[in-house]
A and B are shown apart, each in its own frame.
Chain A
Amino acid sequence: MKNLFLTLVFVFATAFSFAGSDSYETKLETAMFNDCIGVTLSCGVSYDICNFTGTTSQLVNLVIGQNNNVCGTKIMPVE
């Protein structure tokens, strides 16, 4: 019982220590991207993105942009 109590205290303390600066989620995600993650585009092309230091949203925007350019339909040529 004592162990359970100590574990809960540790979990809450850790969670609250992340509050107030960047979100807990962002910190975890940023840490995760220090290595590599596998990406598969909509046309089946697969590769890794490594050492990405931004947030999840920045990574998602990056991959979606790469997907549009590699797999998307013919793009209207403007300038």
Chain B
Amino acid sequence: MRSLHIILLIFYSSVLFSQENNTENKTIKHQATYSISWQPDSLNVNSKIKNKKYKLLMFENGSLYVDSNRLKLDSLIQDSENRGTSFALLSNMNSLPQPNSNNRILKQYSKNTLWSLNQVSGTTYQYSEKLKLMDWKIEDDIKIINTYKCQKATVNYSGRNYIAWFTSELPINDGPYKFSGLPGLIILLHDTKNQYSFELINFQKTNYLQSFDVFNNAKIISKKDYKKIRNAYINNPIVQMEGEGAVFSEETKRQIIKMIRNKNKNNNNRIELTDD
């Protein structure tokens, strides 16, 4: 009977640990910068947002994909926290870097897990997914992109058909967003409708420690619940913000609701079209 208890204890412990992500500081060995373009309104080609920078920070057995401005903001917050001057950041919000996305993708190859971290208002959420083996089809086409000799590959991912160009000159099986699994780093990637594109503009070897503390402070929820919270926030941001301690006048409430709805108006073209 005692053995059974011990076995159950070990089982529950392993289940608990498997729910956590590994958030200790990691040494970044390589850093890639991608220029991203996307079309927020699926029906309007002119709505395209261009040349936003994202970083892919690669460490042993994994990587972190994050908006460059978000990284700068994190660094500013950390520095001011260390100096005890955090409060000063609030005095001039206009001067702070403005990320296009607070989304962070953490790939953990050793655990076969992908963590997606997102911020809704002032609260940060994260959910995990299995790191999928993408069903890439490698083709014979070769071309030079940004001095790298690249080979073509295609895949269908979450409802979109993509064309990728990867290089075996950089033998890292990673890429932007949730893409990975090719025998070389992805240099260029776009869907066949050209609504989303990712192009490598810089690659460098590095050796510095990156904090992953943000994952320690994020609430772990399911992807389904995250979507519910996000949609509820877009529909009525006031409920979420009041839950975070905000107190508004009626006029400010109306102003915020209008601003959030305007921003999300025609922002209908999600990169993931299906939930598979």
Segment 1-46 of B: residues with Cβ below 8 Å from A:
36, 38, 40
- Given the complex of chains A and B, what is the CA–CA distance between A65 and B119 in angstroms? 7
Residues of A within 8 A of B252 (CB): 45-47
Counting CB contacts under 8 A, is B90 at the interface?
yes
- Given the complex of chains A and B, what is the CA–CA distance between A52 and B90 in angstroms? 15
Q: Please provide the 10 A-B residue pairs with the shortest distance between their CB atoms, ordered closest to farther.
A: A62-B122, A42-B93, A65-B122, A77-B270, A56-B86, A48-B247, A76-B101, A42-B94, A60-B86, A49-B245
Chain A's closest residue to B96 (CB) is: A64
B49 touches A66 (CB 8 A): no
Counting CB contacts under 8 A, is A75 at the interface?
yes
Known A45-B256, A56-B87, A69-B119; judge A51-B245 contact (CB<8 A).
yes
Segment 60-95 of B: residues with Cβ below 8 Å from A:
73, 77, 80-81, 84, 86-87, 89-90, 93-94
Counting CB contacts under 8 A, is A70 at the interface?
yes
A68 touches B49 (CB 8 A): no
Counting CB contacts under 8 A, is B241 at the interface?
yes
B263 touches A74 (CB 8 A): yes
A39 touches B237 (CB 8 A): no
B123 touches A65 (CB 8 A): yes
Chain B's closest residue to A37 (CB) is: B90
Partner of B100 from A71, A76, A79 at Cβ < 8 Å? A76
Partner of A50 from B52, B84, B103, B245 at Cβ < 8 Å? B245
Known A42-B96, A47-B248; judge A78-B101 contact (CB<8 A).
yes
Majority-rule SS of B interface residues: mixed
B260 touches A79 (CB 8 A): no
Chain B's closest residue to A48 (CB) is: B247
Chain A's closest residue to B247 (CB) is: A48
A-B contact pairs, 9 of them (CB 8 A): A36-B247, A49-B246, A56-B86, A60-B77, A60-B89, A65-B123, A70-B260, A74-B267, A76-B36
Where the two chains meet, the residues of A that have a C-beta atom closer than 8 Å to any C-beta of B are 25, 29, 36, 39-43, 45-52, 56-57, 59-79
Query: How near does chain A come to B92, taking the closest CB pair, in angstroms?
Result: 9
Majority-rule SS of A interface residues: mixed
Query: How near does chain B come to A47, taking the closest CB pair, in angstroms?
Result: 5
Residues of A within 8 A of B98 (CB): 42, 68, 72-73
Counting CB contacts under 8 A, is B168 at the interface?
no
B244 touches A66 (CB 8 A): yes
A70 touches B93 (CB 8 A): no
Query: How near does chain B come to A70, taking the closest CB pair, in angstroms?
Result: 6
Residues of B within 8 A of A68 (CB): 98-99, 102, 119
Partner of A79 from B52, B84, B272 at Cβ < 8 Å? B272
A49 touches B244 (CB 8 A): yes
Residues of A within 8 A of B227 (CB): 79
